[in-house]
Structure 1
Amino acid sequence: MNNFTYSKASTVQDAVNRVQQGPEAKFVAGGTNLIDLMKYHVITTDALIDVNHVEGYHAIEARGEGGIRLGAFMTNAKTAYHPIIEQQYPLLSRAILAGASAQIRNMATNGGNLLQRTRCYYFYDVNTPCNKREPGSGCSAIGGYNRIMAILGASESCIAVFPSDMCVALAALEAKVNISGPHGDRSLAFTDFHRLPGNTPDIDNNLSHGEIITSIDLPSKGFSDNYSYLKLRDRNSYAFALVSVATALELEDGIVRESRIALGGVAHKPWRSAEGEAFLQGKEATKENFTRVAEIILTGAAGYQYNSFKIELAKRAIVRNCMMALNPETQLPGAQPSR
């Protein structure tokens, strides 16, 4: 690790002022990803600004127009087990609990979860070319071992995937991200927060240097009656998704009035298809229709030497998860999915 200074911010404005002291200065809260990146020399910093002691962003608050606000410095564990989240936004609770381990969830923060970096093998290996780590050096994954890589939204510059589970649910719930920075406060729709790689895969999101996430807003509709989160991975715990699916349905007499389907583990950001969701509106909630929407969502998917299996896996996961959303009780341990 390189040498760096460490200081504690007392307010958001104090944190913003401190991080502007150098181009490599960074905020730290849980540090569950940042510290690893520093240890592997993937990133360097000359200053860490601890925001854990900034008051007012460690809780869940009701919003006047409905919905709730998640404090960015609240831990993933406290968020997942909060009664409001469990009852009104169970999709988010299930997604958070599918991620990492209990120990990490006790440390990781909501804001930090949005800022995770890819777990691409080549990104972490500083001895290999990686456009995300060193722009213009090349993408080792394209011609290398690419089993976990993207099948949607990739580019010639990068085929890495975004690893978060929580963010897949936030995408389906159409959250908003609240940001403070040197030029004031602003909000971004969740779909606009993360970026596809294009020619600048080193830029993961639309935060500017000096800006910090302060909270995440959830709308009043939580889809608590018909929802499901499915994570398919190589082992049952402490593993990132090969494919994950967040499904939220609003049903009336077996007819889909609204649907939200977001995929994880398949792209550089949580993936949604407006065309696919529009197809389901007004149709019966049947396996046949879910199969059709899966085909629509995976339109344009492209695999590489070792990950082409993820295309069919994603289609089957969508169908299975939509069927599970018809009866969320099927997600309990030992339960059988709907037929």
Structure 2
Amino acid sequence: MRSFDYARATSPAEAALAAKGATARFIAGGTNLLDLMKLQIEVPDKLVDISRLPLTGVDKSGEGLKIGALVSNSDLAAHPDVRRDYPLLSRALLAGASGQLRNKASTGGNFLQRTRCNYFYEPSARCNKREPGSGCDAIGGFTRIHAILGASEHCIATHPSDMAVAMRALDAEIETLKPDGSTRRFNVADLHRLPGDRPQDDTHLEPGELITAVHLPAPLGGRQIYRKVRDRASYAFALISVAAIVKVESGRIATAKLAFGGVAHVPWRDGAVEQALIDEAPSASLFAEAAEILLKDAKGQGDNDFKIELMRRTLPAVLAEATDLHAEGDAA
């Protein structure tokens, strides 16, 4: 057992200031952090408890919603405005973990969960994410759950969150508070980072920077689908997932927002795929072309080569469902 300091914050400003050290960590639900501490993969010298801060509301904000960082996954998935206007987010949340964990897991913490790479969790394995510069035993190892897009020679891990994939498709924005009292608001696309030569850094957050809220834009309408392909029906992370928001007007695709999970170190989005769909009539050939655009730089690692073919089949199936292609008799 490693000793650490504990502080219970009474305000967001106090929390950010207390956690400004590089080895301090915020704790809310603790559904991932506590597991990592038990295995001594995370060894913070200080825990800052933010679980009692007033960051739990889901409120109207302009034409969209403002979600407090401490709203639980269960409450967010069940919120009537989310279910009605952002069903993609509700479905993604309900696809993750178990009911018990969703009751504890927070919105802010969900973004910050760490990879479930087996080598990251095994202290005897070499892992650049856990010990920078030590090497990566995943490369050349058992790679069934690993990345096919955006990986580097230093890390092939994937990001585990379902919620973050939905937020990426929704163009959510993150609001944060820094230890110096300044705030910023940015698109969720700028939260996570690809591994490059610094796989130990999962996000672009600064030490002590606290996520205080998530903002959703005005409802987009259209068909919203979250398709998660996994080894078992519950309590399993995605092999691949597709978050899709598609709107068809006058027989052509007017809106296409797509994000992908289980394939990269970040919730993945490719503007070229979306652009290829816009103003086009739904068809099996169009959807197959979109999949090829997405996968043009995909690289399997042996055991996970199947993910490429799996996505090649899953994305067209999701797009066909979103556009009612089968209902119109097209042999997609």
Same fold (TM over 0.5): yes
Residue of structure 2 aligned with 1:250, choices 241, 247, 252 = 247
The aligned counterpart of 2:9 is 9
Counterpart contact for 2:247–2:323, Cα < 8 Å: no
The aligned counterpart of 1:117 is 114
The aligned counterpart of 2:208 is 210
Determine helix, strand or coil for the equivalent of 2:232.
coil
Counterpart contact for 1:233–1:243, Cα < 8 Å: yes
**Alpha-carbon offset, residue 23 of structure 1:** 3.0
Equivalent residues in 2 for 1:63-142, closer than 5 Å = 63-64=61-62, 66-142=63-139
The aligned counterpart of 1:288 is 285
Structure 1 segments of 4 or more deviating over 3 A?
none
Distance 1:178 1:254 in 2: 38
Answering whether residue 186 of structure 2 is matched by residue 188 of structure 1, we say yes
Distance 1:274 1:239 in 2: 28
**Alpha-carbon offset, residue 45 of structure 1:** 1.2
Answering whether residue 218 of structure 2 is matched by residue 220 of structure 1, we say yes
Counterpart contact for 2:8–2:50, Cα < 8 Å: yes
Distance 1:70 1:254 in 2: 35
**Alpha-carbon offset, residue 322 of structure 1:** 1.3
**Alpha-carbon offset, residue 192 of structure 1:** 1.0
The aligned counterpart of 2:229 is 232
**Alpha-carbon offset, residue 200 of structure 1:** 0.3
Distance 2:151 2:74 in 1: 32
Work out the number of aligned pairs and report it: 327
Counterpart contact for 1:248–1:259, Cα < 8 Å: yes
Q: Spell out, residue by residue over 1:90-118, the C-alpha distance to the aligned partner (whole angstroms, 9 max, x if none).
A: 00000010011111000000000000100
Distance 1:94 1:268 in 2: 22
Distance 2:224 2:250 in 1: 16
**Alpha-carbon offset, residue 222 of structure 1:** 3.5
Distance 1:283 1:68 in 2: 31
TM-score for both structures, normalised by structure 2:
0.96
Q: Spell out, residue by residue over 1:199-229, the C-alpha distance to the aligned partner (whole angstroms, 9 max, x if none).
A: 0000000001010000011100333x31111
Answering whether residue 35 of structure 2 is matched by residue 40 of structure 1, we say no
Amino acid at match of 1:158: C
Distance 2:273 2:149 in 1: 15
**Alpha-carbon offset, residue 61 of structure 1:** 1.2
**Alpha-carbon offset, residue 4 of structure 1:** 1.4
The aligned counterpart of 1:334 is none
Q: Spell out, residue by residue over 1:118-167, the C-alpha distance to the aligned partner (whole angstroms, 9 max, x if none).
A: 00000000111000000100011011101110000000000000000001
The aligned counterpart of 1:307 is 304
Counterpart contact for 1:227–1:326, Cα < 8 Å: no
Amino acid at match of 1:38: M
Amino acid at match of 2:174: V
Distance 1:264 1:9 in 2: 33
Distance 2:169 2:196 in 1: 23
Counterpart contact for 2:175–2:186, Cα < 8 Å: yes
Specify every segment of 5 or more residues in structure 1 that has no aligned partner in the other structure, as ranges: 331-337
Distance 1:222 1:259 in 2: 10
Counterpart contact for 1:226–1:249, Cα < 8 Å: yes
**Alpha-carbon offset, residue 5 of structure 1:** 2.1
Identity %: 46
Q: Spell out, residue by residue over 1:166-217, the C-alpha distance to the aligned partner (whole angstroms, 9 max, x if none).
A: 0110000011111101231001211111000000000000001010000011
Q: Spell out, residue by residue over 1:308-328, the C-alpha distance to the aligned partner (whole angstroms, 9 max, x if none).
A: 11001011111111122235x
The aligned counterpart of 1:144 is 141
Distance 1:277 1:151 in 2: 19
Distance 2:72 2:131 in 1: 31
Distance 1:89 1:326 in 2: 18
The aligned counterpart of 1:262 is 259
Distance 1:262 1:215 in 2: 21
